Structure formats: structure tokens, C-alpha cells
Amino acid sequence: MTETTKTIDILLLGSGGREHALAKKLAESPRCGTLYIAPGNGGTLQEGVNVALAEDDPEAVAAFAREEGIGLVVIGPEAPLVAGVADAVRAAGIACFGPGAEGAQMEGSKRFSKELMERAGIPTAAYGSFTDEEAALAYVREQGAPLVVKADGLAAGKGVVVATEQEQAEEAVRECFAGAFGDAGSTVVIEECLTGPECSLLAFTDGKTVRPMATAQDHKRALEGDRGPNTGGMGVYSPVPIVTDEELAVMKRVMVDTVAELAAEGIDYRGCLYGGFMLTPEGPKVLEFNARFGDPETQVILPRLKNDLVDAMLACAEQRLDEVELSWRDEWAVAVVLTSAGYPGSYEKGKVITGVEDADALDGVTIYHAGTAVTDTGELVTSGGRVLAVTALGDTFEAARDLAYAACEKIDFEGKTLRHDIGLKALRGREAWD
């Protein structure tokens, strides 16, 4: 058995829908031996072995990987990346997919990311960065609304306020400095408010070579018509039909230039770089970078990826991504997220889920688990706000969308909530955002 065909045991960190999608794709590979998921969820149990392990404890993860003879560690969420788990794993001589703590600042510090973009000439929103409340408030008054106020650090998807009124922007600044987001809000970034449709472009990178993935578009708002509070994502599709060839070329160039800037500054970035873009009238501009796969973008991107994911991730970890060309299925992918009643606010857990097997049995449908758990008696129950992502592939956008919603109808749990308008705007064309 050659070096490129022998199986390896893999450790995947995380517990969300993204991790179930990664686990399913990793498990499909002939290279995948035993797949451990820490801590995993009710769905990842079907792909490998869930293990109790502190995912953001660098030494604990490295020790487990050493003891179990792990050949590849894949880091799903941002917190372990910012905590330096990848650094500890690499120091133990084990291949790792995910940037070290220095590279993870692309997500862990909005100020770091904006300053790097400035140095690299990356198109992004004009901004100011502040560690002093009065200076931040003065900037808000000088600029006027609308503005976007962001806590600098990780705030679990919160800590970003799109302020349409000056008073709202000032309140957001005060909230950050009052400690609402802990240390994450001790530095505040205030940006101009960009307009246009959003688009995500993720890329594999080994720190030298960049391989952009397919485009995707998330729906962040809780309610139909893009109303209500921001969530972790209520639905997503890939590819994005409204993106022009020129816009896509700009976005791909941004990803390449960003990795080149990281390398020029001595930062070894191996893993996934996620570019969140706004398609403005002046062209694509970066809203933010993330240092990992998106959730729920992963649930529509990976089903369309033809490549062996283990091969692609090892190529990133071993800095030989230049040997890999990505190949994509022609089908469209649409995912609808089923959530617990009350999400993104408070919600109840432990609701019995039925119909998942029936939905998963539909040709072209995959159900990705996020907030699920299996009880001692074997029942599948809700354990989070975003419960399941129902993904469908189709020859047309409409076919994929119809199939996803047909699959959603087969699944039931008390308080099941979903948006019924995922993808409708894109079907109407670019003018839907005017």
C-alpha cells in the first residue's frame, strides 16, 4: 500500500452541522480509517466515534491525537483555532487542517483582519478601530449612520450591530465597552455600511497555493423577507447565480492576495480561508474573513465537491496543494435549516425528532445534524437552536429548492421552525436586492 493510499485515523473537532457535513465527506474517503469526532452530535455517530474531549484545549487535543495514532486533525470551529490547537497538534508532529493561532486572528480579531487588508490593498469597508469609548463615540458622531459596530474578538456570532440610526450605533459602542461581550468587546471596530447582496467564497490553502471553492449565499435573518434578528444561518445555496464572472474573478484574486500577504508577514496559514463578500455597486468588498469552513455553507459546498476530502486536507496540511485541482458537480444545492422555536433567543431542548430517515431516503437529499443528541433509549432529540440542515441536490435551482422543502415536510419535532423563502430572491435576479 502506497503512502497516498494507506488509511489514516482522523480526529475532527466540533459539534455542529458543519462538522456532520465534514464527517460525512471524510468518512466517504477510502483513506479514512477510524474517524473520531469531539464532541460530535446525534448525526456524527453515524459516521464515526464521538469522543468526550475539550476541543479548545491544545494540550488535551494533541495528547489524544498522539495516544490514538491520529494521522490528521481537522478543526471545525473557530474557538479551537484561536486557542492555538493547530499549533499544539503540529508541534506534536501530526498533520493538521486549520491555521495556527496567528493565522486564526483573521477571524479572532476584526482589527487584525482589517489592518492586514489595508496593507494588502484588499477592497473592504472604510473603518476606525478604538480601545477608548469616548473616541469611538466621537467617530460615530463624525461619520453619522448607517454604520456597522463590531466587537473585535469572538462573540459567538453576536457582537455585530448594523446601526441604521446614530443613537443605535452609540448604544452598540457603549454595550461593547460595558463588557457585554467580555474581552471580545474591549476593542471596537466601526465600519461604513456596505450595500448589495452578500456572497461567501471559501478556499483551501496550504499557505502558498489557493484553491477557491464554489460560491454560496447564506440567509442570516431569522424571519422571512430577511427580517428579524441575525442567526447562525437559516438556509443557504450553491452556486450563487447572481454573481458575474468579473465579480467572481475579483473575489478569487482577493483570496490569493490575502494568503500572499499572510505569507509575506511570516504567517503560515494552512486550512480553509472563508471570505464573506458584499457585492457593492463598486465591485466585491470583504465584509469579514473567517478562519474555517462556514456553517451552513459547508452543507451545500461539500455535497457538490467531487474530490476526496482527506486528500485535499492532507495536501493543505503537507503544503502540496499545487498537486490538487478541485472538481465540482453540476447540480445546484439548497439547504434549509430547521430550528427550535425561539431561536436565536432562548429555546427548549429534548424535543423528540421524527421523520429524519424518511427524508434522508429521498434521492438527492442529505440531512445534516447540528443541535441533536441521542438519548440512552436511542431516541433522537433536539439539543440546540439550529437542529438540522436539510440539503437537496437538483439539476436546476428550482428542483433543488423544491426537493429540500419536500424533505423538510417529512421531519417533525415540537416547535419546528423554518424559513420558507430560502433562495427566492436569487431566483428573481439581481434586481431583488435593489
Q: The cell 483570496 sits on which residue? A: 255
Specify whether the CB–CB gap between 100 and 159 falls below 8 A: no
**Residue 394: its pLDDT value, please?**
98
Residue 389 vs residues 21, 71, 179, 191, 284: alpha-carbon distances, Å:
10, 29, 33, 32, 28
The grid coordinates listed for 163 are 446601526
How confident is the model over 242-265, as pLDDT tens digits? 999 999 999 999 999 999 999 999
Specify whether the CB–CB gap between 217 and 240 falls below 8 A: yes
Give the sheet arrangement for strand 147-151, strand by strand. 127-130, 188-192, 147-151, 160-163
**Residue 153: its pLDDT value, please?**
86
Instruction: State yes or no: cis peptide before 281, omega within 30 of 0.
Output: no
**Residue 157: its pLDDT value, please?**
67
Cα–Cα distance between 184 and 150 in angstroms, integer? 9
Domains of the chain: 8-98 (3.40.50.20), 132-186 (3.30.1490.20), 198-428 (3.30.470.20)
**Residue 1: its pLDDT value, please?**
39
In DSSP terms, 373 is beta-bridged to 381
**Residue 3: its pLDDT value, please?**
57
SS (H, E, C) 106-155: HHHCHHHHHHHHHHHCCCECCEEEECCHHHHHHHHHHHCCCEEEEECCCC
How confident is the model over 135-157, as pLDDT tens digits? 999 999 999 999 999 998 887 66
Low-confidence residues in the chain, pLDDT < 70: 1-4, 156-157
Please state whether 29 falls in left (phi above 0), alpha (psi between -120 and 50) or beta: beta
* C-alpha R_g of the chain: 21
Among 182, 171, 200, 191, which residue's Cα sits nearest to residue 289?
200
Q: The cell 471545525 sits on which residue? A: 76
pTM over 0.85: yes
The grid coordinates listed for 347 are 429555546
